[in-house]
Amino acid sequence: MTPVAASAIYIAVNILLLWFLSFRVIGRRRAAQVSLGTGGDSELEIRTRAHGNAAEYIPITMLGLYVLASLGAPMWMVNAVGGVFTLGRVLHAIGLSATIMPARLVGMVLTWTGMLGAAAGLLYVTHT
């Protein structure tokens, strides 16, 4: 497997996570009969934030991961960034959706670590 192919797997998993979180929002919107906003529904608010938070962090980091792999980063770097970030996103989604603060906290730390890893990796591969 090439680094680009490995990055594609992480990108696919993160797309599926976004899809799943979106599906949960749609399901709750239908149940609560709310077409715009959250209508004061606390469960819809939680689901909307879980999806929104993922949508804020996933695209730019996955772009960074793909560029990192495309520039010839070693496989260990692609897997470190992709694995840490993806685990963080999954833990954060679980923690936020089920109000499990330790999972949410660890998820954000791993998310930020993956983001910083992508940025550092990009700077490294462009200067070596």
The reported pLDDT for the residue numbered 57 is: 97
Is the whole model's pTM more than 0.75, yes or no?
yes
Whole-angstrom Cα distance, residue 101 to residue 42? 17
- From the list 105, 112, 85, 93, the residue with the least C-alpha distance to 11 is 85
pLDDT (0 to 100) of residue 2: 96
CATH architecture of the domain with residue range 3-126: Up-down Bundle (1.20)
Residues 68, 91: Cα–Cα separation, whole Å? 24
> C-alpha angle with apex 21: 19 to 25, nearest 5 degrees?
110
d(CA 83, CA 87): 6
pLDDT of residue 28: 94
Q: pLDDT per position in the chain (128 positions), as tens?
A: 999 999 999 999 999 999 999 999 999 999 999 988 889 999 999 999 999 999 999 999 999 999 999 999 999 999 999 999 999 999 999 998 888 899 999 999 999 999 999 999 999 999 97
Burial class (CB in 10 A: 0-12, 13-18, 19+), 119: middle
Domains of the chain by residue range: 3-126
Name the helix (H) or strand (E) containing 21: helix 3-32
**Closest listed residue to residue 50, CA positions, set 111, 6, 7:** 111
Identity of the residue numbered 66: Y
